[in-house]
Structure 1
């Protein structure tokens, strides 16, 4: 499948808008499903975008750019994975793994953009000392523009190469390598979930983890019914523990009154 110029521009704009939202408005900046679905909608397959976005969402759980550190861009991975999967017709796991590779590339781009922003900050400070506040505010926009361009470039490169070129590269790869890509694509969401569980009080709620595993692995329930059951269990747990302090306080007051 070949993308039209309009589709290429729109998908690149989606990537740029996502980055602007992530560093600015913060409305849906970390929502892999949303941005991948939008990209899929533009190229004619929103369902694939939704699937890849959900998978990348699992990968990104527990990963955060703390203290200005650079981390893989899973939303870029979701967008690129959607484009590669739809345009090449390859298995979703192969497109996803290529997307992750591009998302890892963003770590280097992110470092470059942040380094360039240091010079922008010094320039702003220089204008502020001179009292030229209009130029200081104008320079402020260079930062978001650099981030947006840094986001759009890898996506543009993948789309301009085209599905035929990507397919040619994949077909030239040995079967054991593409098979490895598929296995890696299946493992990565598990790694993301494991990282998230590492930060959660699993020991305290281990019984709930077991219940969720049984519901999924043995009873074959989907994510939505399991999430609804988990929400109900969390609500009941909250009610029981919220009532306990109130009961303790009433008992204490009664003791004081008796005394």
Structure 2
């Protein structure tokens, strides 16, 4: 069983590195990693069914702009493996994956703030010396390994020592530590939102950003309804375009 636990931890490691090294290919999602968990444990049907249930639960957990969702990669691997090993099904997978996903997302925020800042300084120094190879090495190792190795160790220890021990360890973390990490994650979200606004610093695009913000914060609309509304607005703008690709209003202003 130890070899199987090590292989499952390796799957969690690769899944955790997906968005860091491979450009968010979605290959680290529970729907995909459950197949490998099933192959390792010799029960593919059960693993895939649990993975599909976890994927449906985490389907909306995608980092977009300032949104920081729970971690779905290593937590999905752990929940799937635990459910298959114990034979308890989806309920046990969800019960274990949820707290672990929240903890791992807090850990990721810490890695972005501390090892990430260190990596940025090292990369800047390497680029100042025109050493592109060293800059790439720092970029591909410091933050990815700081995220991937602890995630894989957490999965291995959870399987080897039991889920109760890991849940107890997570519960024993002082509240002030969790509060501090939550504050840091909030600051990172503000930075991400500011970067998003800076990217969209165009007088024609910014109103759409603030309209979306108002719809969510003050009108309580969900993502699907806002996406449908945005699609309708896009269609109306497309129909109002002139032959040159500009809207009729802009074309009149240019002629004037």
Task: State the alpha-carbon separation in 2 of the partners of residues 74 and 135 from structure 1.
Answer: 31
Structure whose residues are more often helix by fraction: 1
Go from structure 1 to structure 2 and tell me whether the alpha carbon gap of 1:49 and 1:61 turns closer, same or farther (over 3 Å shift).
same
Q: Is the 8 A contact 1:77 1:102 kept in 2?
A: yes
Provide the residue aligned with 1:6 in structure 2: 3
Provide the residue aligned with 1:199 in structure 2: 223
Provide the residue aligned with 1:231 in structure 2: none
Aligned ranges 1:178-197 → 2 under 5 Å:
none
Provide the residue aligned with 2:172 in structure 1: none
Structure 1, unmatched stretches of 5+, are 170-196, 205-240, 246-259
- Of 43, 46, 67, the residue aligned with 1:45 is 43
Go from structure 1 to structure 2 and tell me whether the alpha carbon gap of 1:119 and 1:28 turns closer, same or farther (over 3 Å shift).
same
- Of 78, 81, 85, the residue aligned with 1:80 is 78
Go from structure 1 to structure 2 and tell me whether the alpha carbon gap of 1:83 and 1:126 turns closer, same or farther (over 3 Å shift).
same
Task: State the alpha-carbon separation in 2 of the partners of residues 90 and 50 from structure 1.
Answer: 14
Deviation sequence 1:47-92 (CA, Å, 0-9, x none): 2221121112111233321236532122333211122222223343
Provide the residue aligned with 2:64 in structure 1: 66
Task: State the alpha-carbon separation in 1 of the partners of residues 94 and 42 from structure 2.
Answer: 18
Corresponding residue SS for 1:64:
coil
TM-score (norm 1): 0.58
Query: 4+ residue runs of structure 1 moved beyond 4 angstroms?
Result: none
Go from structure 1 to structure 2 and tell me whether the alpha carbon gap of 1:30 and 1:13 turns closer, same or farther (over 3 Å shift).
closer
How large is the Cα RMSD of the aligned pairs? 3.1
How many residues get paired? 175
Q: Is the 8 A contact 2:16 2:73 kept in 1?
A: no
Go from structure 1 to structure 2 and tell me whether the alpha carbon gap of 1:162 and 1:62 turns closer, same or farther (over 3 Å shift).
closer
Go from structure 1 to structure 2 and tell me whether the alpha carbon gap of 1:27 and 1:64 turns closer, same or farther (over 3 Å shift).
closer
Go from structure 1 to structure 2 and tell me whether the alpha carbon gap of 1:32 and 1:131 turns closer, same or farther (over 3 Å shift).
same
Provide the residue aligned with 2:144 in structure 1: 144
Point out the more displaced range, 79-88 or 8-17: 79-88
Q: Is the 8 A contact 1:49 1:78 kept in 2?
A: no
Go from structure 1 to structure 2 and tell me whether the alpha carbon gap of 1:138 and 1:61 turns closer, same or farther (over 3 Å shift).
closer
Q: Is the 8 A contact 2:4 2:41 kept in 1?
A: yes
Structure 2, unmatched stretches of 5+, are 169-220, 229-234, 240-256
* 2:110 pairs with 1:112: yes
* 2:30 pairs with 1:32: yes
Q: Is the 8 A contact 2:2 2:160 kept in 1?
A: no
Q: Is the 8 A contact 2:127 2:135 kept in 1?
A: yes
Of the two, which has the highest radius of gyration?
A: 1
